[in-house]
C-alpha cells in the first residue's frame, strides 16, 4: 500500500488499478477490483487517511493529487464496465435464472379500423378516385350552410352538434369537404374523403360520439344516378365479396336530390333474414344522392353544366359488418385481446 512519503506510489496505484480492471473478465471480478481501489477500505481511502501524517503545508497539494487519482480510476472503472456490457444498474443486480426461456416480446399491429380504411382507399383509388381531406374543426358555413341545411334543421341543434362557438363546430359529417374541394378545383373531380366526425350522442352498441366516415364525390358532365349505383355496387362487391348486393331506399339529405340510404345484403344470413339484420336481410351502410344544385351554386359550379353524386360511408359500420362485430365501442377501446385478432392478416397499406 502506498504511504504519504511515497508520492511516486500514486502513479503506481493508477497503473495497478488499470491492470486489475483490464484483467477482470466479468462484472463480478471487476466489482472486486473496484472495491480494492475505490471501496470504503480501499487504496484511495488509505491514501486520503495518510494525509494526516504529512507536514501541514504539503497536505493541500497531496489531497488534490489523490482526488485526481480517484477520478482517473473511476473513469477507468466505468469504461471497463461498459466494455463488459453493463450499461445499467439492472445487470449489476441480475439474480434471475439465465437458463429460463425468454419471454416473447409482443408486437403491435394495424388497428382494424385503419385496415378497413386502407382497403376502402385501395378499392376507390382503383376506380379513379383520389384523396382529399378537410379540418375536423369546421365552420358552420361548410358543415351546414353551404350544404343547404335550413337554419332550423334539427341536426344543427346543440343536442347533435358540438359547437365551439356560434360559427365554429366539430364537423358532424365529412360532407363539408365536398364544398371546400369544389371551391378549389374545376370538374371533373372524383374524390374520397376519409375522416373523423363528431356527434353529441350517448354511446351505445351502434353509436359513438366520434366515428369515421368516408365521403365520396364525383362531378362531371352527365353523371347519373346509374353511375352512383354502379360505383357503390362495385365497391360493395370488392369489399364484401362477389355475392354482396346493395339496394337504394329513398331518403332525404338537404345537400342531395334525389337522396337514398344504401343497404347491403346481410353478411350473416346472406339476405334471408336473421337477428343481426333485424330479419330484413339488409343492413344500412351509407347515405348517398345526386349533388343538390344549391350546393353547386355555393361552391361556384354551374348546376346547368354539371351533375354529380356524393356518398358518405360509415367506416365503423362497414368494419362491424365485415367482421361481425356487435358493439362499436369495442373498436374505440383498448382491449388488445379484441384488437389483436385483426393483426395477423397484413393490411394493404396504400400510399397516399
Q: Which is nearer to ligand PHE, 4 or 289 (CB)?
A: 289
Residue 288 is a binding residue for ligand PHE (CB under 6 A) = yes
Q: In angstroms, what is the minimal distance from the CB of 273 to ligand PHE? A: 26
Q: In angstroms, what is the minimal distance from the CB of 157 to ligand PHE? A: 15
Inter-residue contact 122 to 155 (CB < 8 Å): no
Total residues contacting ligand PHE by CB under 6 A comes to 11
Q: In angstroms, what is the minimal distance from the CB of 178 to ligand PHE? A: 7
Candidate segments 68-76, 220-228, 229-237, 307-315, binder of ligand PHE by CB under 6 A = 307-315
SS3 236: helix
Inter-residue contact 339 to 332 (CB < 8 Å): no
Quote the DSSP letter at residue 56: G
Residue 218 is a binding residue for ligand PHE (CB under 6 A) = no
Residue 161 is a binding residue for ligand PHE (CB under 6 A) = no
Q: Which is nearer to ligand PHE, 34 or 199 (CB)?
A: 199
Candidate segments 105-113, 186-194, 308-316, 320-328, binder of ligand PHE by CB under 6 A = 308-316
Residue 212 is a binding residue for ligand PHE (CB under 6 A) = no
What would the DSSP string read from start to end of 315-338? HHHHHHHHHT---HHHHHS--HHH
Q: Which is nearer to ligand PHE, 30 or 197 (CB)?
A: 197
Sole binder of ligand PHE in the list 173, 265, 307, 318 (CB under 6 A): 173
Residues 6 or more apart in contact with residue 75 via CB below 8 angstroms: none
Residues 6 or more apart in contact with residue 83 via CB below 8 angstroms: none
SS3 8: coil
Inter-residue contact 192 to 124 (CB < 8 Å): yes
Sole binder of ligand PHE in the list 110, 256, 307, 318 (CB under 6 A): 256
Sole binder of ligand PHE in the list 311, 319, 331, 339 (CB under 6 A): 311
- Report the alpha-carbon distance of residue 290 to residue 302 in Å, rounded: 15
Crossing angle of helices 112-126 and 315-323, rounded to 10°: 100
Q: Name 308's bridge partners.
A: 219
User: Interface with ligand PHE by CB under 6 A: which residues?
Assistant: 173, 175, 215, 253, 256, 287-289, 310-312
Amino acid at each position: 500500500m502506498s504511504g504519504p512519503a511515497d508520492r511516486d506510489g500514486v502513479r503506481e496505484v493508477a497503473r495497478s488499478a488499470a491492470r486489475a480492471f483490464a484483467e477482470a473478465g466479468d462484472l463480478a471480478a471487476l466489482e472486486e477490483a473496484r472495491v480494492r481501489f475505490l471501496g470504503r477500505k480501499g487504496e484511495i481511502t488509505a491514501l486520503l487517511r495518510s494525509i494526516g501524517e504529512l507536514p501541514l503545508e504539503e497536505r493541500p497539494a497531496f489531497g488534490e493529487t489523490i482526488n485526481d487519482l480517484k477520478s482517473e480510476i473511476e473513469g477507468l472503472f466505468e469504461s471497463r464496465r461498459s466494455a463488459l456490457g453493463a450499461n445499467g444498474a439492472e445487470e449489476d443486480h441480475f439474480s434471475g435464472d439465465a437458463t429460463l426461456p425468454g419471454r416473447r416480446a409482443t408486437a403491435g399491429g394495424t388497428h382494424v379500423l385503419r385496415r378497413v380504411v386502407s382497403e376502402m382507399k385501395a378499392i376507390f383509388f382503383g376506380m379513379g378516385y383520389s384523396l382529399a381531406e378537410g379540418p375536423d374543426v369546421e365552420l358552420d358555413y361548410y358543415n351546414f350552410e353551404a350544404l343547404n341545411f335550413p337554419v332550423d334543421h334539427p341536426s344543427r341543434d346543440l343536442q347533435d352538434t358540438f359547437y365551439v362557438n356560434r360559427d365554429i363546430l366539430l364537423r358532424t359529417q365529412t360532407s363539408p369537404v365536398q364544398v371546400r374541394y369544389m371551391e378549389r378545383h374545376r370538374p371533373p373531380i372524383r374524390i374520397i374523403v376519409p375522416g373523423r366526425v363528431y356527434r353529441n350522442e350517448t354511446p351505445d352498441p351502434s353509436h359513438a360520439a366520434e366515428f369515421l366516415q368516408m365521403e365520396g364525390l364525383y362531378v362531371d358532365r352527365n353523371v347519373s344516378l346509374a353511375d352512383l349505383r354502379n360505383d357503390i355496387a362495385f365497391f360493395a362487391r370488392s369489399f364484401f365479396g362477389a355475392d354482396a348486393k346493395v339496394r337504394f331506399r329513398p331518403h332525404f339529405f338537404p345537400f342531395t336530390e334525389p337522396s337514398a340510404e344504401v343497404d347491403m345484403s346481410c353478411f350473416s344470413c346472406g339476405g334471408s333474414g336473421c337477428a343481426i339484420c333485424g330479419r330484413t336481410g339488409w343492413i344500412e351502410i351509407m347515405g348517398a344522392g345526386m349533388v343538390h344544385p344549391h350546393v353547386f351554386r355555393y361552391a361556384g359550379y354551374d348546376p346547368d353544366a354539371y351533375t354529380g353524386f356524393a356518398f358518405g360511408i360509415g367506416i365503423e359500420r362497414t368494419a362491424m359488418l365485415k367482421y361481425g362485430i356487435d358493439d362499436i365501442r369495442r373498436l374505440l377501446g383498448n382491449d388488445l385481446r379484441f384488437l389483436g385478432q385483426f393483426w395477423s392478416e397484413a393490411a394493404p397499406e396504400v400510399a397516399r
